[in-house]
Amino acid sequence: MNRILIIDDEQEITDLIELFLQNENFQVSKCYCSQDALVLINNERFDLAIIDVMLPDGNGFELCKLIREKYTFPIIMLTSKTEGIDRVTGLSLGADDYVTKPFLPVELVARVKAQLRRVQLYDGKESSTSETLMVTGLFLNKRSHECNLNGKKIRLTPLEFSILWLLCKNRGIVFSADELFQQVWGEKYFKNNRNTVMVQIRHIREKLNDTGENPKFIKTIWGVGYIIE
């Protein structure tokens, strides 16, 4: 049974999310502040976290950043704001998805399931054989979700791993932002998704000590898309 952690100081919202997730046979834990959430995360195992941006003892962005220092499970951010900066900030700190309040609980549950399917796909639970890739000192293991660069372990989120695996597996092929989004996110691409893809690419480059100006791995073909040659 997958374990979900909800972090939001609005009890009515956490109770509502809990109800819908439990109806889908998820095990749910709830916290109302960052401090309590960190204690739980460091002492128990979770498969996904849902974090509100506004918390009484800080904000969800800071909590997301702290979680990403040690853990790679998917994170979905909740925000009551509509500005794109919230979305870009959360994704740049390691969040995998975001939902804007007010939201339909069934939509949030669908996004939870989508994130967990992506994790299962890349940790081998839905794959009968182990698959590995090597690209110029970069090693990827699809079954173990392992990424190493010149022998050094690189911690990637499931979303980052999905993007990097897709590009490495299709070396020499340019993927546009909409193609990446549709294949990795599994959703229809819209113009406002472009920043989402760009943020994830930038995040991967930072972890690989790569740059957009002189890349060793992911190259940008301006006006076309991204490629690993």
pLDDT, one tens digit for every residue, the chain (229 residues): 799 999 999 999 999 999 999 999 999 999 999 999 999 999 999 999 999 998 999 889 889 988 988 888 899 999 876 555 566 666 767 788 888 888 899 999 998 998 888 777 655 444 434 478 888 788 888 877 889 888 888 988 888 898 999 999 888 889 988 888 888 887 776 666 667 888 889 889 999 988 767 778 899 888 889 998 8
The first and second tokens of residue 27, run together, are 């095990």
Strand stretches in the chain, DSSP E: 3-7, 27-31, 48-52, 54-55, 58-59, 75-79, 97-100, 132-135, 138-141, 146-149, 152-153, 218-221, 225-228
101 and 166 in a single domain? The answer is no
81 and 21 in a single domain? The answer is yes
Q: CA torsion sign, 122 to 152 to 96 to 12?
A: positive
Residue 170 falls inside a structural domain? yes
This prediction's pTM? 0.62
Spatial neighbors of 139 by CB under 8 A, at least 6 apart, are 132, 133, 146, 147, 148, 149
Residue 127 falls inside a structural domain? no
Number of domains the chain is built from: 2
71 and 181 in a single domain? The answer is no
106 and 7 in a single domain? The answer is yes
219 and 168 in a single domain? The answer is yes
Alpha-carbon separation of residue 11 from 5, 30, 33 (angstroms): 14, 9, 11
Write down which residue in 122, 145, 166 finishes a domain.
Answer: 122
Q: Domain of 150?
A: 132-228
Looking at the chain, how many residues does it have?
A: 229
The first and second tokens of residue 107, run together, are 């939509």
Write down which residue in 80, 103, 122 finishes a domain.
Answer: 122
Write down which residue in 91, 122, 153 finishes a domain.
Answer: 122
Distance of CA 60 to the CA centre of its chain: 15
Question: Which residue has tokens 């009515």?
Answer: 12
Nearest to 54 by CA among 23, 18, 80, 27: 80
